[in-house]
Amino acid sequence: MHHANHFYGHAHVLARYAGLGDGHPPRINGYVQHGWNIGDGLAPGHPYAEGTPSLLWSEQTRRRAWSVGRRNVTVIGAPFGYLLAMRPEPQSPPQRAGTIWYPFHGWEGQHVEGDHDRLIAQIRQTEPGPVTVCLYWHEHRMRRVRRRYENAGFRVICHGYRGHWWSGTDPDFLDRQLTELRRHARVASNRLTSAVFYGIAAGCEPAVYGNPMVLAGEDPTFDGTARIRRQWPELHGEQVHLPTAVEIARAELGVDHRYPPAALRELLGWTAAVQEESA
């Protein structure tokens, strides 16, 4: 299995939905898109065997992949959509309060550069209720960054470790994220990212504002943040039209492309695993 299929527990979520339980998921026949992006669904710099099936989130991503020459592509929807199907919101959900804020983050190979103090000031000026700041594990481990948000009076959390090279994957990452999102009325970030779309799908009002910060050596392929702001202007601002945001999020997460369990097992190459368990 491509190691990125384990990121954020994606393979584990798909295995649960497909009826394979909570154990270690079987090898997936293909590369599962592991985050929202404006390219062909593949993460720049990750090793990729030519001809490997690409299992993408949305029809729009599939068209972009086709335009750059990839042919073995299938739209399956985001793993987060499968989690929502397994964990529908209760009929009488608890009262939501405040905002969960996701500052743009770096990763093992690239640090993010930006003015956290300026961002903190804008968050405090904009958000009407209590704020939870969710730092990516990379920044959460940086004491100087984490303390800035804590000293500002924000609740600071981390959903867990993404995993890397088949090590350290947190199978409960998305479950933990969904639980937090459903506690809040708003979701916000300084860049349009997966977390914003997840928050919209989980019932939060979205906002994208503040300095987008810079990723060291950021890949300019597909025109980066400038294009994101041009193509999705409706999702940028301190207040966003919710019905429009819901419609866009539904398309970008491929909610309508979600496979039934049996069909998903067949697509991912897991039919034999189910037969072995039932034998």
DSSP line for 102-167: E----BTTB-EE--HHHHHHHHHHH-SS-EEEE--HHHHT-HHHHHHHHHTT-EEE------BTTB
CA separation for the pair 212, 214 (Å, rounded): 7
- Provide mean pLDDT across the span 233-248: 97
| The one-letter amino acid at 164 | H
What distance in Å separates the CA atoms of residue 31 and residue 274, rounded to the nearest whole number? 21
- Cα-based torsion angle of the residue sequence 68, 73, 75, 79 in order, rounded to the nearest 10 degrees: -100
Q: What is the largest CA-CA distance in the chain?
A: 61
Q: What is the pLDDT of residues 156-185, one digit of tens each?
A: 999 998 776 666 788 999 999 999 999 999
Range from 56-70, 176-190, 195-209, 235-249 carrying the lowest mean pLDDT: 56-70
Query: Is pLDDT larger for residue 94 or for residue 59?
Result: 59
Distances in Å between the Cα of 90 and the Cα atoms of 81, 94, 182, 205, 229 are 16, 9, 11, 18, 34
Band of the pLDDT at 88, cuts 50, 70, 90? very high
Question: Please, where are the H alpha helices in 19-115?
Answer: 59-67, 79-86
| Highest mean pLDDT of the ranges 52-61, 154-163, 266-275 | 52-61
* For residues 143-156, average pLDDT: 94
Q: Report the percentage of the chain scoring pLDDT > 90.
A: 65
Q: Quick one: pLDDT band at residue 217, thresholds 50, 70, 90?
A: low
The pLDDT of residue 224? 74
H or E element: which one contains 278?
A: helix 271-278
pLDDT at 119: 93
What pLDDT does 263 receive? 97
Q: What is the pLDDT of residue 269?
A: 94
**30 closest CA partner among 56, 13, 54:** 54
Q: State the pLDDT at residue 49.
A: 77
Query: In which band, very low, low, confident or very high, does the pLDDT at 225 lie, cut at 50, 70 and 90?
Result: confident
For residue range 94-144, list pLDDT tens digits in order: 899 999 999 986 555 445 667 889 999 999 999 988 999 999 888 888 898
Residue 279, pLDDT score: 45
Distance of CA 69 to the CA centre of its chain: 25
Neighbouring CB atoms inside 10 A of 127's CB total 17
Token pair recorded at residue 114: 């930006």
pTM (two decimals)? 0.92
* C-alpha radius of gyration, the chain, whole number: 19
CA distance 51 to 68: 14
Is the pLDDT at 76 greater than 70? The verdict is yes
Band (219; pLDDT cuts 50, 70, 90) = low
What per-residue confidence (pLDDT) applies to 60? 95
